[in-house]
Amino acid sequence: MSNALVATFLLAISAAGQSQPPPKSAREASETIDSLRNEGRKLVATDPAAALKKFQQALTYFQQPLVKDLAKGDFFLGSRHTYIWFDLVETYSRLQQTPEALRWLQRIQDDGAWAGFAGFLEKQDFLAPLRADPAFQKLLATARQKADYWEPRALKTPFSTNLSDTEKIAGLSRFWSEVKYNFAYPEIVETIGWDQLYLDAIPKVLATKSTETYYLELMRFCALLKDGHTNVYFPKEVDRSSKPPVKTLLIDGRVGIVNVYAPSLVELGVLPGMEVLAVDGDDVHAYVKREVTPIQSASTPGDLDMRGYWYGFLRGPKDKPVRLKLRSRDGAVIEKELARSGYQTKYPDTFEYRDAADGVAYVRAEQFENPRIVTQWKEKFAQIRAAKSLIIDLRNNGGGSSSIGWAILSDLIDKPAHGAMTRLRRYVPTERAWGRTQIQFYSNPPANVEPSQGPKFTGPVIVLTSPATYSAAEDFLLAFRDSGRGRIVGETSGGSTGQPLFLNLPGGGSARICTKQDLAPDGTKWIGVGIKPDVEVKPRWDDFVQGRDTVLEAALKLLR
């Protein structure tokens, strides 16, 4: 292409980028960029030249002074330029314009690429045409070196049945130091005396006789932070995660079997509505207090109960059965030995729609991880709109992506709603050397949830919650409450969300540390507290053994 044609092309792209109307907010600017990128993404494989024009338009739009100013105060808008650079790398690579692709890769690296950049360079298929180029090999070597700074290979040792004392101290020390400098809630670190707890933990980890017991000590150490998004995980070789396919909950101080997911267990006589009295000969509460809750990282008492009596309950080696003493609905006491593995299981779909009664539409969403949830919601939306009122059941929703919950909420609102506002730690070593030891934060404003295009559901809405309503599901609750669209009924939510930092530990285990504070749109603290319902309703044991849903019945009564 001649220099004159190149100049004409760039001028046209610049004009197209600036033809977009000036944004009124950072969110509007982000949406404009994402719209241009999405148009380009659809063309990358079939018409990379056309895709290139869209990405250049997006980049030119981002480079406008007003957009750049907005990006300084908004993390999400500020990150959009990097996404565009990745789009350009892929497109130039498909066009076999290696120098241009490498130039944008270098730009990404110079801008401070994330720790996984080396893995990205090694694994992405569209980069295959570039890998033989010496410039690419130099980029990859630098990326590996940078990755090793934050995820050191020296500490990523292989599994062994009993790690060396050196590895045990290294793993404990890494987790201790990463928490001290990265944990989102330094006031907790200060209050509990984290450094002294670290010193106390050293002889405990050195006294362990296996990698399994070593990781149990790390989990106990981690649990002292009382944060559900800060956890330690076993290496995959440690066999402690298997459990019979049953769901159990603490209801009115008693442990009930809520669901059984294997026909063979039903045939054995293990049925919903039964009470668990003992585990392997121990009183059920004594068992939970000794074997389960000490290693659970939980943000609230309700969260800890969920982890103790549901998520972590009955877990152990897959080849070791567990013996339960059970009381049936008629009062008979029986004992059953349950295998922890080897079942043919049938779990319910994570999305359910049904007509509850009297024109009430009922929707259950048990996660916000899979975008399929939004598709299923849209598929049923005509029926939902025809209903008089709506119940959204998030009692078992452990979270996922906030955007999935907000996509549902956008069909219920006719004006923007506000989600969580965030606070991020800021640490500058030189300021500490100057004696400025006050930990500083910078804040991002509440996220906006915009109404969707098209028809809305306008009837009354009730959202059901429990302590298992967690993370991204709680982000939904914040925006739902801000919107004023309805009431929250049930129990206080789990009280935990955040952006975890993941770490590798010696022997193949790992950890994560919450790095972001989340607050309600008005700045109210809810992490470690939970989001309280407008109408509190707790499950009752008498209703449970009769197969009745206390909370759902209360919501239906309110709507009637």
Q: What is the CATH number of the domain that holds 323?
A: 2.30.42.10
The mean pLDDT of 417-439, rounded to a whole number, is: 91
Instruction: For helices 48-62 and 80-94, give the axis angle rounded to 10 degrees.
Output: 160
* CATH, residue 499: 3.90.226.10
Instruction: For helices 48-62 and 65-72, give the axis angle rounded to 10 degrees.
Output: 70
Residue 346, domain member (yes or no): no
Share of the chain above pLDDT 70, in %: 96
Given this model, what pLDDT does residue 119 score?
A: 87
Q: Which residues of 332-360 are buried (b: 16+ CB within 10 A; e: fewer)?
A: eeeebebbbeeeeeeeeebbebeebeeeb
Do 256 and 322 lie in one domain? The reply is: yes
Do 405 and 523 lie in one domain? The reply is: yes
pLDDT digits (tens, 9 = 90+) for 316-375: 999 999 999 999 999 999 999 999 999 999 999 999 999 988 899 999 999 999 999 999
Do 47 and 134 lie in one domain? The reply is: yes
Do 334 and 357 lie in one domain? The reply is: no
Which one-letter amino acid corresponds to residue 507? G
The mean pLDDT of 530-555, rounded to a whole number, is: 97
Do 322 and 270 lie in one domain? The reply is: yes
Do 455 and 528 lie in one domain? The reply is: yes
Do 332 and 356 lie in one domain? The reply is: no
pLDDT digits (tens, 9 = 90+) for 286-297: 999 999 999 999
Do 251 and 146 lie in one domain? The reply is: no
- CB under 8 Å to 349, separation ≥6 — which residues? none
pLDDT over 50 (residue 247) = yes
Distance CA 230, CA 483 (A): 30
The mean pLDDT of 74-78, rounded to a whole number, is: 77
Please identify, among 150, 173, 195, the residue that sits at the C-terminal boundary of a domain.
150
Sign of CA dihedral 76, 369, 316, 541: positive
- Among the residue ranges 19-33, 114-128, 263-277, 284-298, the one predicted with the least confidence is 19-33
Do 378 and 489 lie in one domain? The reply is: yes
Do 376 and 403 lie in one domain? The reply is: yes
* Host domain of residue 31: 3-150
Q: What are phi and psi of 51, to 5 degrees?
A: -60, -40
Distance CA 109, CA 146 (A): 10
pLDDT over 80 (residue 74) = no
pLDDT digits (tens, 9 = 90+) for 180-195: 999 999 999 999 999 9
Domain count, the chain: 3
Confidence of residue 159 (pLDDT cuts 50, 70, 90): very high
Share of the chain above pLDDT 90, in %: 82
pLDDT over 50 (residue 5) = no
Residue 190, domain member (yes or no): no
- CB under 8 Å to 522, separation ≥6 — which residues? none
pLDDT over 70 (residue 12) = no
Given this model, what pLDDT does residue 19 score?
A: 60
- Which tokens belong to 276? 């668990």
Do 109 and 72 lie in one domain? The reply is: yes
- Distance from chain centroid for Cα 30: 22
pLDDT over 50 (residue 276) = yes
Residue 156, domain member (yes or no): no
pLDDT over 90 (residue 59) = yes
pLDDT over 80 (residue 384) = yes
Please identify, among 150, 167, 194, the residue that sits at the C-terminal boundary of a domain.
150
Task: Kindly list the distances between the CA atom of residue 67 and the CA atoms of 30, 237, 286, 446, in Å, as whole numbers in the listed order.
Answer: 9, 50, 59, 19
Residue 287, domain member (yes or no): yes
Residue 211 buriedness (CB in 10 A; 0-12 / 13-18 / 19+): buried
Given this model, what pLDDT does residue 21 score?
A: 77
Do 463 and 523 lie in one domain? The reply is: yes
486-490 and 461-465 beta bridge pairing: parallel
Please identify, among 297, 312, 338, the residue that sits at the C-terminal boundary of a domain.
338
pLDDT over 80 (residue 16) = no
